[in-house]
A and B are shown apart, each in its own frame.
Chain A
Amino acid sequence: MLLKYIDDFRDPAAAKALVDRIRRAAGDAPVRLMEVCGTHTVAIARGGIRPLLSGAVTMLSGPGCPVCVTPDGYIDAAIALGKDRGILLASFGDMLRVPGKSSSLEREKGAGLEVRVVYSPLDAVTLAAAAPDREVVFLGVGFETTAPAIGGAIRTAAGRGVKNFSVLASLRTIPEAMGVLAADPEVRIEGFLCPAHVSVVIGADAYRPVAERYGIPCVVAGFEPLDILLGISMLLRQKKEGVARVENEYSRVARPSGNRKAQDLIRDVFVPCDTGWRGIGVIPSSGLRIADRYAAFDAEKKFGYSVVYAPEGSACRCGDVLKGKILPVDCPLFGKACVPEEPYGPCMVSGEGTCAAYYKYGGL
């Protein structure tokens, strides 16, 4: 039954009708829309949607891939924690290939660094509870989607008295990054396709400041092909009507006010902070650090390491890709010095990275 429900959002005839509607609604010059979220980027690439809309809509890919925007200083700090202190690191799988300044977790793992891939932050708490004589640090990377799970793991560890568990947090919030992109005259965004899962947590209303302050239409959309096409079509209608408001295509799951329980959990465990986004720079109040009352679970405080953000200086243009200023194919390294097996920049690493999606599903 659930799958029947999914199939309804992949119906070829409905997709064709929506593509026709989008093409009719578009003007002479292609409309510049941004899909903020990495899962949208992959869904668009997997669905072969970009070429269907070419000439009518240019889909720019935003900074919503958590792995891609993690600064290399974070990877360096994680490696240092493992190497200098003999700490057991636990991580989501796709962090392993992300390049730091001079190495990656995958490469260090091959050289003996202990890194365990876990599917959930709670698995890392279990790991720590089973090895009380080892320090276990979970690499807590992500957006509002993973923050509640990581916060929940911290509260579980506190409740169960698992003292050898801590988190190296690198959590970010989406609306603040959208504000920076909206204000950038070079990017020229005419509409935001807002993330599905993030919006389930923070609620569609969270984008109202972006829509109202910058006059840019926002539509929350699901991740199925029809969700995306309908979302784009709704953005074009707003543009035609000359309005800029938040609409919710994904109302079957995302509520205007989001998931209060998850929001309370985030507010309990974390506090907003300024943070560096790889390729973009420091964005005020766009990060979440672990609140002082949970300082015992903050790996930076516990071990005296801090993640240093320094702007990247190389031929890699991930920053411009993340800001939607160029497409991956415009980067001189794309597909040459930078491929998924040997990624140079973070956008090529993650399955959700813009460059990886272009590389994997493009090249027609």
Chain B
Amino acid sequence: MHDKILLSHGEGGKRTRDLVSKVIARYFDNPVLAPLFDSGLLGRVEGEIAFTTDGYVVTPPFFPGGDIGRLAVCGTVNDLAVCGAKAVAISCGLILEEGLPLESLERALSAMRDAAIESGVTVACGDTKVVERGKGDGIFITTAGVGVSVDGWRPAPSAIRPGDRILLTGTMGDHQVAVLIARRNLAIEAPVRSDVAPLSGLLLPLLPRFADKIRFMRDPTRGGVGVTLNEMSSAANARFVLDEARLPVRDSVRGVCEILGFDPLYLANEGKAVLIVAGDAADEIVAALREHPYGRESTIIGEVEEGAAGVRMRTLAGGMRAVDYPVGDQLPRIC
């Protein structure tokens, strides 16, 4: 084996075969993948199926608290989990840039394996391509996931009504700030770790227990809680009102946001969920979420009120304002 990825690793010949069987398959040692057929044969799957896909292009690929491998598994597991489905099998599509150290690939694969074990999902199939130096960014990963829905639970935005509560399972912005700092072009040091984590173990056990009291769930990744809530509000055709005083943000993240002029509401999270739940069950659901390590800081951040769709916020100063979609990237302010 070479210590760097070469173009020939993606050309389908012996080197490709070696890379797949001697490196990649070593990390995903399971009976579905092991024969290295053109498809992973999952056999009979009981229940209703959910299916999702996502691509991961994070720069840098390794950051405090996680890496692109963990992200690729958790992102897909979470997209299934917030739809009430337990991930059964995921694919692993690798797009590698010529010259990538083999060690980096192995680091990402090992993180994928660990996250897959943690979420109880099988990496069932895969594909590897190599692009010329300069045509990629080290490593890109795509994953698609198949999940089985928890019996009887479906996302039901239309069931949302005034008096429902808006829950968030922890602090905002940890992932994006960790990645921004890891890029090292802001000359800022802060002890921020990405929150990247699989949420299936946190969310799915609650669904049979609370059933239709949990109306709708989303994971506030790109665009953050602000964008996710706007989308949820449109889907539900309901007015969401947040309470600024209750928005959870870690001090280290707040510090970075204060300096750069970012709003944590619009920063990406990779291990958090937003839940809209019935008002009479909200406290009990928060208590249940807090029992799980990934939900310790769960809290109620707002409420559904009468009125047209849209997101509003009761500010610390006692005023009320709109929380809209941002336009383009948030940029550090001039003055």
Contacts and interface: CB of A to CB of B under 8 A. Distances in A.
The secondary structure that dominates the B interface is loop
Contacts of B245: 12
Contacts of B328: 97
A363 B317 contact: no
A117 B334 contact: no
A284 interface: no
A351 B315 CA distance: 19
Given A94-B334, A361-B321, A363-B322, A48 B315 contact: yes
Interface string A199-240: 000000000000000000000000001100100000000000
A303 B312 CA distance: 50
A132 interface: no
A355 to B, nearest CB: 12
Contact of B333 (A45, A225, A351): A351
B316 A341 contact: no
Contacts of A363: 322, 324
Given A93-B329, A119-B185, A364-B312, A146 B317 contact: no
B321 A45 contact: yes
Q: How large is the interface on B (under 10, 10 to 19, 20 to 34, 35 or more residues)?
A: 20 to 34
Nearest to B314: A48
B255 to A, nearest CB: 6
A93 B331 contact: yes
Contacts, number: 103
A51 interface: yes
Interface string B293-309: 00000000000000000
A175 B202 CA distance: 56
B316 A225 contact: yes
Interface in B182-225: 185-186
A123 B184 CA distance: 13
B327 interface: yes
Given A6-B258, A198-B335, A47 B322 contact: no
Contacts of A67: 334
A14 B331 CA distance: 31
Contacts of A361: 321-322, 324
B281 to A, nearest CB: 28
Max count, chain A CB within 10 A of own CB: residue among B185, B319, B322: B319
B317 A225 contact: yes
A200 to B, nearest CB: 10
Given A47-B319, A361-B322, 11 more contacts: A6-B258, A47-B316, A47-B321, A48-B313, A48-B319, A119-B186, A123-B185, A352-B334, A359-B324, A361-B321, A364-B320
Interface of A: 2-3, 6, 10-12, 15-16, 19, 37-39, 45-52, 66-67, 92-94, 97, 117, 119, 123, 141-143, 145-146, 197-198, 225-226, 229, 340-341, 351-352, 359-364
5 contacts: A48-B320, A51-B320, A341-B327, A361-B322, A364-B312
